[in-house]
Amino acid sequence: MDKAEKIRNISISDYNYNLPDERIAKHPLAEREQCKLLHYDGETVHDRHFYDVPTMLPEGTTLIYNNTRVINARLRFAKATGSVIEIFCLEPVTPCDYEQIFQTTDSCTWLCLVGNSKRWKQGDLEQTVTIDGTAVTLRATRGERRGNSWEITFTWTAGATFASVLEATGEIPIPPYLNRGTEDSDSDDYQTVYSHINGSVAAPTAGLHFTQQLLDECDQRGIKRRELTLHVGAGTFQPVKSENIGDHEMHHEFIAVKRALIEELIACNGPVVAVGTTSVRTLESLYYVGQILEYNPQADGDELTVKQWMPYTTPCEIDTRKALQNIVDYLDRTGSNVYMGSTQLMIAPGFTYRIVNGIITNFHQPQSTLLLLVAAFVGEDKWRCLYDHAMDNGYRFLSYGDGCLFLKGE
């Protein structure tokens, strides 16, 4: 059995564990940084608090986090019959650029999930809201079906931006496993303090524990802080329903990494610590973008998409610095200072980490691709010991729960 076949045959049931509902944190702690932190240094497990992170990061660390901001992606339209149709914005269609679509002032089209769609048999949905003292009528028109999603065209009056329309009409889409409705507090609680690029429908939750004071302390200790962007899609909540992971299709997500960061990674001699699985997937995807460019220097657009199984089906014959330099050369060719692309990367036990030396993350759902990513980093046997330790020592789980700091041993 070759490597790719071995990875595809991983049974997701091997990554199950008992997670009682009472161990799922329904809200964050009042002081974000006061949460527990499970620290694993490659050999030993330590129980800490998140406010210890700046003192625990190795000297010369580059700390990289995802600056995406969660949008009010869930919209509810009440019909005259009393039925409520829920529209969940997933990703932009027209215009397809995130920055542009939030600045549109009359219409745009999104790929959306539609809840209670059987009650939406024909016609448009409509609601009126007030934005900056002006009544704005928002209309939703259903278009082409794409799998379990629909293209929905939104049109509105008064020349407001779509960003302000969402702010006025939508709500923060908290994870379904919290088993509660969105509350006013989630507007702040479900955003990282460094979020500023609109686009996600789920938060990069490992970063929720950071406060500005902690970030300042990182600066004082000489820890370099850098940003990238991955807009988190609803697929991050999608459970693996197949028996083997080879039958699970990963979702595509938009990534953006500045040229300056890629150049820093080429020159970097210290550890790279990624905040959250989204940052991990973005950074590790860069290697495979560079590999595509190694064999096809003129590749562009969709040709640079990192496919789900690429790490396990293609020979990795170039070193990491060469792969990253290929991206810099590509940016030179295209006259851009930011690499923008799409990744479908699946990180599972058997994956070779090429950029990331440490991960700050939360505790993830049983039988999830995020748990597979952690197992690939700490060891496919070690992850269960760490989760058992957390369960035995009162840690809180999932998005609003406690954190972990995993570092590679010497």
User: What's the structural domain count of the chain?
Assistant: 2
Q: Is residue 175 part of a domain?
A: no
Distance (Å, whole) CA 213 – CA 221:
13
The whole-angstrom separation of Cα 210 and Cα 190 is 12
**Domain presence at residue 98:** yes
pLDDT bracket for residue 409 (50, 70, 90): low
CA distance 337 to 330: 10
Among 123, 142, 170, the domain boundary falls at: 170
**Confidence grade of residue 2 (pLDDT, cut at 50, 70, 90):** confident
Contact status, residue 220 vs residue 213, Cβ threshold 8 Å = no
Structure confidence at residue 319 (pLDDT): 95
Tell me how crowded residue 79 is: count the other CB atoms within 10 A of its CB: 14
Q: What is the mean pLDDT of the chain?
A: 94
Instruction: Decide if 179 is inside a domain.
Output: no
Residue 189 to residue 64: CA distance in whole angstroms: 21
Report yes or no on 176 lying in a domain.
Answer: no
Q: Does residue 239 share a domain with residue 143?
A: no
CA distance 92 to 100: 10
3-state SS assignment for residue 318: coil
The mean pLDDT of 332-343, rounded to a whole number, is 96
Q: How far apart (Å, rounded) are the C-alpha atoms in residues 299 and 237?
A: 32
Q: Are residues 220 and 353 in the same domain?
A: yes
pLDDT tens, residue by residue, 172-226 = 999 988 999 999 999 999 999 999 999 999 999 999 999 999 999 999 999 999 9
H/E stretch holding 186: helix 186-189
Q: Is residue 365 part of a domain?
A: yes
- With 70 as the cut, is the pLDDT of residue 237 above it? no
Q: For residue 80, name the pLDDT band (cuts at 50, 70, 90).
A: confident
Ramachandran bin of 335, using left for φ above 0, alpha for ψ from -120 to 50, beta for the remaining angles: left
User: Are the C-beta atoms of residues 384 and 347 closer than 8 Å to each other?
Assistant: no
Q: What is the CATH number of the domain that holds 193?
A: 3.40.1780.10
Clarify whether residues 329 and 373 are in a common domain. Answer: yes
Verify that 155 and 9 share a domain, yes or no: no
Report pLDDT digits (tens) over 340-368.
999 999 999 999 999 999 999 999 999 99
Residue 297's H or E segment, with its range, is none
The whole-angstrom separation of Cα 189 and Cα 214 is 17
- 22 Cβ neighbours under 8 A, 6+ residues apart: none
Contacts 24+ apart (CB under 8 A), 213-218: 213/33, 214/33, 214/50, 214/51, 214/53, 214/54, 217/54, 218/53, 218/54, 218/57, 218/63
> In whole angstroms, how large is the CA radius of gyration of the chain?
22
Token digits of residue 106:
């009359």
Is pLDDT at 3 greater than 90 in this prediction?
A: no
Range of the domain at 309: 3-69+189-407
pLDDT digits (tens, 9 = 90+) for 314-331: 887 899 999 999 999 999
Please say if the pLDDT value at position 259 is more than 70: yes
Distance CA 213, CA 75 (A): 34
